[in-house]
Amino acid sequence: MEDNGILFDEVSEVLFKLRPFLLRDGGDAELVEVENGVAKLRFLGACHGCPSATITLKAAIERAILEEIEDIKEVVQVY
The SS3 call for residue 25 is: coil
Amino acid at residue number 72: I
E strands, 15-70, where?
27-35, 38-45
| pTM listed for this prediction | 0.90
Question: Per-10-residue mean pLDDT for the chain, 79 residues long?
Answer: 86 96 92 96 90 87 96 95
Tell me the C-alpha to C-alpha distance, in Å, between residue 79 and each of 1, 17, 35, 70, 73: 27, 22, 16, 25, 20
Identify the structural domains of the chain with CATH numbers, from first to last.
4-77 (3.30.300.130)
Q: Which residues pair with residue 27 across a beta bridge?
A: 45
